[in-house]
Amino acid sequence: MDNGDDSDDETALDAEQAGTIAPRAKVRVYTAKFSDTGWLDAFTTAFAENRASSLSLSWGLSENILRDLNRDHLLTPLYGDIMNTLLAQGAIQGISTFVASGDTGAYGQNLSESSAMPGIEADFPADSPWVTATGGSTLPIKKTFAPGISVNVTRERTWGGDIFFKSYHQHPLQFIKHPNLLEELTAASGGGISRLYGTPKYQQGVAGVNTYNARKYLTAVGPKSGPKLIHGYRSGRNYPDVVANADPITGYDIYSKNSGWELMGGTSAVAPQFAAMAAVMNSDRSQRMGLWNPQLYALAQTDHSPFTRLDAATNNGNLYYVGQPGKVYNQAAGLGTVNFEKLARAYQ
């Protein structure tokens, strides 16, 4: 599902990711205007047709923006409930819906478009308890991008712009000369705790849910060096649920008619991958898998968990939340990366 206005590259990314992983699947693309009714129309059409066993969505906006629209009477205060009920309908029909968790870390909006430092906000509708929210990781990489700008990631971690901070503090002018790399400083996997939706039953009692570790990596004047570890508690729907490679620097070669070949990333690349894997697993099942989350969280607490946790409290953050060592869940990387072979064997 994509915004039909200016998202040719985004549509190409989603369709190519899904089609590559599930080459025999019939990929359907639902387009809609980027508006409140557009979102509802797209989901209503997909669920009414009931032809797709899984859906991916790359739209999102901050819960803070949602509250502002409600306050200014530009959106009904019931919109969150309406969307949640609609997504619940899809789950009841056996449709698995995967939603990108966002590319601005814990902040729920594009930091480069804000003149002031925004607060910690969840991303809608990735925060819905009726979807599987897909976040992002960075794969191991050692590379020099420009004079003085290099990264060295030794193991898979949560996607976060802090991998560039050392270079930024040593050579800030180089980032001004390379705006594309400057943008990487404030890019990260979406994740956090919703104020709109309560903690769903499948997350209740899971170690790490509603507790968090965090580091304030960003300030109004730029990246901070060596922020201290802080701890906290807040109740609500925790997201993402799962992660996979989403960092553009370790991303995917995508072709579109408008742009040709380019390297792309973002959590938008992850959602269609999971939707495609759901289609592959559904092809060998008599019943569709429906909402993944209840079984994901149950399996994550067993000895045969299909997840590899990304739970380190250092070099593993989304510009705010970091890992909770030894816990099943953390708001930076959810339950972790997925071994799909083990998941397919265990899923009932």
Sequence ranges of the domains in the chain: 2-346
The single-letter code of the amino acid at 34 is F
For the purposes of burial, counting CB atoms within 10 Å of the CB of 154, is it exposed (0-12), middle (13-18) or buried (19 or more)?
Answer: exposed
Distance, CA of 54 to chain centre: 17
Which 3-state string (H, E, C) describes 101-116? Answer: CCCEHHHCCCHHHCCC
Which are the contacts of 190, defined by CB distance < 8 A and separation ≥ 6?
Answer: 60, 100, 101, 102, 103, 104, 105, 106, 108, 123, 126, 133, 135, 136, 239, 240, 267, 318
Question: Which residue(s) pair with 100 in the sheet?
Answer: 134
The predicted-structure confidence for 155-204, as pLDDT tens digits, reads as follows: 999 999 999 999 999 999 999 999 989 999 999 999 999 999 999 999 99
Residue 147 has pLDDT above 70, yes or no: yes
Q: Element (H or E) spanning 124, and its range?
A: strand 123-124
Q: What mean pLDDT do residues 218-227 have?
A: 85
Q: How far apart are CA 250 and CA 265, in angstroms?
A: 8
CA distance 336 to 317: 13
Superfamily grouping for domain 2-346:
Peptidase S8/S53 domain (3.40.50.200)
| Mean pLDDT, the chain, whole residue set | 89
* Token pair for 290: 């429906």
Instruction: Give yes or no for a contact between 149 and 167, defined as CB atoms under 8 angstroms apart.
Output: yes
- Which pLDDT score, from 0 to 100, does residue 7 have? 55
How far is C-alpha 118 from the chain's CA centre? 19
* Nearest-10 Cα torsion for 286, 290, 292, 298: -70
Q: Crossing angle for the helix pair 8-21 and 270-282, nearest 10 degrees?
A: 30
What is the tens place of the pLDDT at every residue in 65-116?
Answer: 888 887 777 777 778 888 899 999 999 999 999 999 999 999 976 555 554 5
pLDDT above 60: residue 4: no
Listed in sequence order, the residues at least 6 apart from 334 whose beta carbon sits closer than 8 Å to its beta carbon are 133, 135, 191, 239, 240, 241, 242, 243
pLDDT at residue 1 greater than cutoff 60: no
Per DSSP, the residues of 254-319 read EEETTTEEEEE-SGGGHHHHHHHHHHHHHTT-SS-----HHHHHHHHTSTT--EE----SSS--SS
| Residues 20, 247, 238, 39, Cα dihedral to 10° | -60
Tokens of 92: 């009841």
Residues near 74 by Cβ (< 8 Å), separated by ≥ 6? none
Name the band, by pLDDT with cuts 50, 70 and 90, for residue 2: very low
**Res. 336: pLDDT tops 70:** yes
